[in-house]
């Protein structure tokens, strides 16, 4: 089946066309709004330099110093990021000349990345931002033939090519940089999505610390960071974008692996890169539907239950996936108490906790706080309030004390059984909202309103409902790509 | 990563609840879960954080990473009644005056059963007899800390 699909692949005409076909970004007032978070903007500029510098080295005979001189050069840039967005073709002219069709795909998807972040970092209202992101997605898909599919693709399939794994094995330090960039590019979405403007910089303090202290250097990561693992709220609202960014990042991995494969000559590399592009193109999957498809094939468009923005992973079933650093997980259940999560029109009632490089969806503020308490480092908690349009964002210190810019926030915490936890653990924007809730729910009439400081110091009991998930093996990524052939 | 913080200790007599089955922060083996008849999870508390360890050795060996005051809840012979170890201003102490410890494991696969706390010497004796521990030695807290930490780590 696989061979038949690949042999039948007809590369689209644009791949070999000599006509210039670059498309300029959508004209919009929000363009470059990312500079309202200056450190993030500059760090993203450095990511562009890092990508291009590594690619140029790989195609100009400098692969022998990729892990030393080139790595040092990239790290210097990451630590001294440029003020303005660089022209990647000026940094990687040989790469752009050799693989112009790939540059088109990368650049166009990177424009989508940049413009969606601009929207989130703009002054638009939350509703306007959502509409604008929908418009950007439509613009991205409709204006160029080289857009990447927004369908979930099977990552195990894409990462099982003959060349797969070469790059991460031969160049682990530079691969860690790539996956670190992709971690940041995924984590920044939930850092901003529906988050009050005055929490952006505070949140980026935590994200940036994690990025520079661990994510860029982690050579033991099992797999590339997936978008929905880092930004589940955004991925649930915009699954097509989440999938497209994962498919883009997988294309980066595939290209890296091809370029690092010394058994391929120049023509073979070009062919394999075109094949890799073809596999992730929107046009290749034109008649396919999300949630459908034959298992472990190119057209396996199943996704994790509860998360349409996440394709099938190595060793996963729709019910269960292995999440690096966390183990086996269900994306339908609270990661703290194992109860089913609110869904559909009540999905906004989910909380998330980000710490130690991962983000998990949980069912209530208690679940978020107590889960974060078990891990070292600073956490970001994103908690719904009684108002669907007012998200409470808490940034923690290393002792687990939280701060927020939402004045007057109070908490209900009258601990009972976890099937009801999202009723007895609740955040409110004001004491008046707390009193209204208690008057409408007399079972909590004896509850006291906790201030943020008081609530931060509470600790719940171990949920009787908690169940550690067990997969078929301890870690499906163990020895992935480390077989005797390599 | 940790910065200097002063901490006013607030000690619970019962073991704080920790939820997820996680690898030990120190030895990276999975933390052995509590059962109805025996506590196994070691919890190190600072501020509002509650970090799980697989055994008393792991918690004390990892303690130099924390610059602030800490509390270690060490599972004992009594379910729900841990031996509470404090490190305040760099000085180690315990709430249980008669507490003794076993620290006899050779590899971490066995640390959870052979690095534990007891409220009394009698409980220690019963445990080592039941588990047929060779050459058992009941250590006082200061002996345990001295055996685990190098001199530069003790402060």
Question: How do residues B35-86 score in pLDDT, each as one tens digit?
Answer: 889 999 999 999 999 999 999 999 999 999 999 999 999 999 999 999 999 9
HSE on the CB side for A146, CA within 13 Å? Answer: 27
Quote the pLDDT of residue B17.
66
Cα separation, A176 vs A216, whole angstroms: 6
Most confident among A423-427, B105-109, B131-135 (mean pLDDT): A423-427
Burial class for A440, CB neighbours closer than 10 Å (0-12, 13-18, 19+): exposed
Nearest CA in chain B to A334: B20
User: Which residue's entry shows tokens 């309103």?
Assistant: A449
User: In terms of CA atoms, which chain A residue is nearest residue B34?
Assistant: A462
Collect all residues of chain A within an 8 Å Cβ-Cβ radius of residue B48: 373, 399-401, 456-457, 459
> Please, which pLDDT band fits residue A18 given cuts at 50, 70 and 90?
confident
Q: Mean pLDDT, to the nearest integer, of A354-366? A: 96
Given B17, B18, B47, which is nearest A400 (Cβ)?
B47
CA atoms of B8 and B47, how far apart (whole Å): 8
Q: Which of A375, A461, A471 to mutate to test the interface with B (most CBs of B within 10 A)?
A: A375
Contacts of B20 in chain A (CB under 8 A): 335-336, 371, 374, 466, 468
User: Pick from A213, A335, A459: which is nearest to B16 by CB?
Assistant: A459
CATH number of A344-456, picked from 3.40.640.10, 3.30.450.410, 2.60.40.10, 3.40.50.740: 3.30.450.410
Q: Does the beta-carbon distance from A398 to B1 stay under 8 Å?
A: yes
Rounded to a whole number of angstroms, the distance from the CA of A67 to the nearest CA of chain B is: 26
Confidence category of residue B6, pLDDT binned at 50, 70, 90:
very low
Mean pLDDT of B15-33: 83
pLDDT of residue A318: 94
Chain A partners within 8 Å of B17 (Cβ): 370, 459-462
**Pairing relation of β-strands B42-46 and B70-74?**
antiparallel
Q: Where are the domains of chain A?
A: 8-304, 344-456
pLDDT computed for residue A468 by the predictor = 87
Cα distance between the two ends of chain B:
18
Task: Output helix, strand, coil percentages for chain B, rounded to the nearest 5.
Answer: 25, 25, 50
Distance of CA A127 to the CA centre of its chain: 22
pLDDT bucket at A4, cuts 50 / 70 / 90: very low
What percent of chain A shows pLDDT beyond 70?
Answer: 97
CATH number of B42-149: 3.30.450.410
How far is Cα of residue A309 from the mean position of the Cα atoms in its chain? 10
Residue B105: how many other CB atoms lie within 10 Å: 17
Q: Vertex B96, ends A462 and B115: CA angle to 5°?
A: 65
| % of chain A with per-residue pLDDT over 90 | 90
Helix, strand, coil share of chain A (percent; to 5): 50, 10, 40
Name the residue facing A466 among B2, B19, B48 (closest C-beta). Answer: B19
Tokens of A298: 């190119």
Q: Kindly tell me the sign of the dihedral angle through the C-alpha atoms of A352, A355, A356, A362.
A: negative
| Mean pLDDT confidence for A368-393 | 97
What is the three-class DSSP state of A139?
helix
What distance in Å separates residue B106's CA from the closest CA in chain A? 25
pLDDT, position A363: 96
Q: For residues A291 and A301, is the Cβ–Cβ distance under 8 A?
A: yes
The whole-chain average pLDDT of chain B stands at 88
CB-CB neighbors (< 8 A) of A468 in chain B: 20-21
Half-sphere exposure of A282 (CA within 13 A, CB side): 19
Q: Report the residue from B1, B19, B49 with minimal CB separation from A463.
A: B19
Q: Which of B5, B19, B21 sits opposite A399 (nearest CB)?
A: B5
Pairing of strands A321-323, B49-53: unpaired
A336–B19: do the CB atoms touch at under 8 Å?
yes
Q: How confident is the model at residue A391 (pLDDT cuts 50, 70, 90)?
A: very high
User: How far is the alpha carbon of A397 from chain B, nearest alpha carbon, in Å?
Assistant: 10
C-alpha span between A122 and A141 (Å, rounded): 23
pLDDT at B10: 61
pLDDT > 90: percent of chain B: 70
Mean pLDDT value across residues A206-234: 96
The whole-number average pLDDT for the span A301-315 is 95
Is B17 an interface residue toward A (CB < 8 Å)?
yes
B23 touching A (Cβ < 8 Å) = no
Cross-chain Cβ contact A398/B47 below 8 Å: yes
* Residues in chain B closer than 8 A to A456 (CB atoms): 48
What average pLDDT does the structure give for chain A?
A: 94
Nearest to A310 by CA among A392, A241, A369: A241
CB of A153 within 8 A of CB of A239?
A: no
Query: Over the stretch A200-212, which tens digit does the pLDDT of each residue have?
Result: 999 999 999 999 9
For residue B122, give the H/E element and its range: helix B121-130
Alpha-carbon span A148 to A47, nearest angstrom: 20
Residue range A453-459: average pLDDT? Answer: 95
Q: Are A412 and A403 in contact (CB under 8 A)?
A: no
pLDDT at A462: 87
pLDDT > 90? residue B148: yes
- pLDDT of A51 > 70? The answer is yes
Q: Give the separation between CA B112 and CA A80, rounded to whole angstroms.
A: 46
Which chain A residues touch B51 with a CB distance below 8 Å?
A: 374-376
Alpha-carbon gap: A336 to the closest alpha carbon of chain B (Å): 7
Candidates B2, B7, B21; nearest CB to A468: B21
pLDDT value for A341: 95
CA of A187 to nearest chain B CA: how many angstroms apart? Answer: 20
């Amino acid at each position: 089946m696989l061979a038949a699909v690949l042999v039948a692949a007809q590369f689209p005409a644009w791949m070999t066309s000599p006509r210039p076909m670059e498309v300029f970004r959508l004209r919009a007032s929000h363009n470059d709004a990312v500079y309202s978070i200056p450190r993030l903007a500059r760090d993203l500029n450095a990511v562009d330099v890092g990508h291009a510098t590594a690619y140029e080295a790989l195609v100009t005979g400098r692969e022998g110093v990729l892990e030393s001189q080139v790595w040092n050069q990239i790290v210097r840039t990451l630590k001294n990021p440029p003020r303005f967005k660089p022209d990647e073709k000026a940094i990687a002219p040989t790469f752009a000349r050799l693989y112009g069709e790939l540059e088109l795909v990368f650049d166009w998807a990177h424009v989508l990345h940049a413009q969606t972040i601009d929207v989130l970092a703009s002054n638009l209202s939350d509703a306007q931002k959502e509409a604008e992101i929908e418009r950007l997605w439509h613009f991205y898909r409709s204006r160029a033939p080289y857009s990447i599919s927004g369908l979930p693709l099977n990552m195990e399939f894409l990462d099982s090519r003959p060349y797969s794994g070469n790059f991460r094995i031969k160049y682990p330090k530079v691969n860690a940089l790539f996956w670190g960039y992709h971690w940041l590019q995924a984590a920044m979405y939930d850092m901003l999505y529906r988050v009050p403007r005055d929490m952006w910089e505070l949140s980026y303090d935590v994200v940036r610390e994690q990025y520079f202290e661990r994510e860029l250097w982690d050579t033991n990561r099992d797999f590339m960071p997936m978008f929905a693992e880092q930004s589940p709220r955004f991925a649930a609202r915009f699954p097509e974008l989440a999938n497209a960014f994962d498919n883009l990042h997988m294309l980066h991995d595939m290209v890296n692996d091809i370029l690092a494969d010394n058994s391929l000559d120049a023509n073979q590399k070009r062919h394999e890169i075109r094949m890799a592009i073809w596999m992730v193109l929107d046009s290749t999957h034109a008649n396919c539907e999300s949630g459908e498809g034959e298992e472990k094939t190119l057209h396996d468009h199943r996704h994790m239950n509860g998360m349409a923005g996440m394709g099938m992973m190595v060793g996963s079933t729709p019910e269960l996936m292995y999440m690096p650093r966390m183990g086996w997980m269900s994306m339908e259940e609270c990661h703290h108490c194992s109860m089913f999560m609110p869904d559909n029109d009540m999905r906004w009632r989910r909380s998330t906790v980000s710490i130690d490089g991962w983000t998990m969806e949980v069912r209530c503020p208690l679940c978020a706080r107590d889960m974060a308490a078990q891990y070292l480092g600073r956490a970001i908690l994103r908690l719904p309030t009684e108002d669907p349009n007012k998200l409470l964002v808490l940034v923690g210190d290393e002792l687990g004390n939280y701060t927020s810019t939402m004045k007057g926030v109070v908490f209900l915490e009258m601990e009972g059984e976890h099937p009801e936890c999202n009723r007895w653990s609740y955040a409110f924007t004001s004491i008046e909202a707390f009193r209204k809730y208690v008057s409408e729910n007399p079972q909590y009439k004896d509850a006291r309103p906790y201030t943020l400081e008081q609530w931060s110091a509470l600790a719940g009991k171990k949920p009787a409902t908690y169940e550690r998930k067990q997969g078929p093996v301890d870690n499906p990524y163990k020895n992935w790509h480390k077989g005797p052939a390599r | 990563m940790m910065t200097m913080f002063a901490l006013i200790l607030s000690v619970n007599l019962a073991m704080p609840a920790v939820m997820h089955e996680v690898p030990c922060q120190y030895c990276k083996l999975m933390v052995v879960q509590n059962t109805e008849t025996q506590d196994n999870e070691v919890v190190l508390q600072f501020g509002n954080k509650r970090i799980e360890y697989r055994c008393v050795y792991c918690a004390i060996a990892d303690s130099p990473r924390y610059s602030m005051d800490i509390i270690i809840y060490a599972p004992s012979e009594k379910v729900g009644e841990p031996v509470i170890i404090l490190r305040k201003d760099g000085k180690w102490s315990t709430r249980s005056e008669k507490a003794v410890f076993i620290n006899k494991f050779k590899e971490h696969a066995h640390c959870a059963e052979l690095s534990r706390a007891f409220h009394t010497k009698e409980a220690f004796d019963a445990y080592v007899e039941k588990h047929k521990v060779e050459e058992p030695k009941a250590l006082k807290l200061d002996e345990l800390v001295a055996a685990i930490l190098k001199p530069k780590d003790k402060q």
